[in-house]
Amino acid sequence: MSAAPLVGYSSSGSEDEAEAGARVRPGAEGRSRGQSPLPGQRLPVPDSVLHMFPSTEEGPVDDSAKHGGRVRTFPHERGNWATHVYIPYEAREEFLDLLDALLCHAQTYVPRLVRMEAFHLSLSQSVVLRHHWILPFVQALKDRVASFHRTFVGLEVTSGHAHFLDLVAEVDRVMEEFDLSTFYQDPSFHISLAWCVGDARLQMEGPCLQELQGIVDEFEDSEMLLRAYAEQIRCKSGNKFFSMPLK
């Protein structure tokens, strides 16, 4: 049985349309079924086949609705990898209990607040690396921080600030080697606990922060609870993670 020419037609289910599609290819009226097309003439391709191969030139579309309303600080481009250097904080159950108490109270002022899924202390801004820069960048970081020792961190670092400034200075030197943005001037080292879309500083300042501080102060063993060893520096680039142990 010989194959009929490929044609594009509506999938309405009409017998007449289907029969006509099997008999005649658009633009080929007057030639018999099965006859070869004229030289240089292209056969139309069905929509069902075209949709199997989406255009490779179209990049991914950012949908902020899938990320709680958050948007990228820079647009996605193929071959660009969002990169961030930080110290991870492993939350214990007691810490999460304290966080739940803080968030419950804070939401009376800003209901749209959402708890962070993971906790860290940033040592860099989010920057963009080309894929072939990732391994040299990580190696440069390892070389720079190899001599640093671990230290304690809390919700906001109140001791060891100079030590973290030294760490940031080394990370900044690597950023400069790759012509990337360095960290903020006079940074406040902290661990973010919650976030929301929009600027809610006015609602949070004043009584809210004072009441939250009171919850922390009254929480059992909060002083020890909010201490943690910074045992490693981590670099996240796209979906890749690299760890650099601290002595």
Distance, CA of 139 to CA of 142 (rounded, Å): 5
**Whole-number Å distance between alpha carbons of 102 and 116:** 12
* Coil vs helix vs strand at 200: coil
Tell me if 48 sits within 8 A of 6, measured CB to CB: no
Query: Rounded CA gap, 141 and 196, in Å?
Result: 32
- Give the span between the Cα atoms of 33 and 111, in whole angstroms: 68
Given the residues 120, 131, 149, 163, select the one marked as catalytic: 120
Question: Is the distance from CB of 51 to CB of 98 less than 8 angstroms?
Answer: no
Quick one: residue 116, left, alpha or beta (phi over 0 = left, psi -120 to 50 = alpha)? beta
DSSP bridge pairs for 194: 115
Question: Distance between CA 230 and CA 107 in Å, rounded?
Answer: 30
- Residue 65 corresponds to which tokens in the numbers above? 């609705």
120 is catalytic: yes
At 67 the three-state DSSP class reads helix
Which of 76, 131, 161, 190 is flagged as catalytic?
190
Q: How far apart are CA 172 and CA 181, in angstroms?
A: 8
The reply to whether 131 belongs to the active site is no
Would you name the residues annotated as active-site residues? Answer: 120, 190
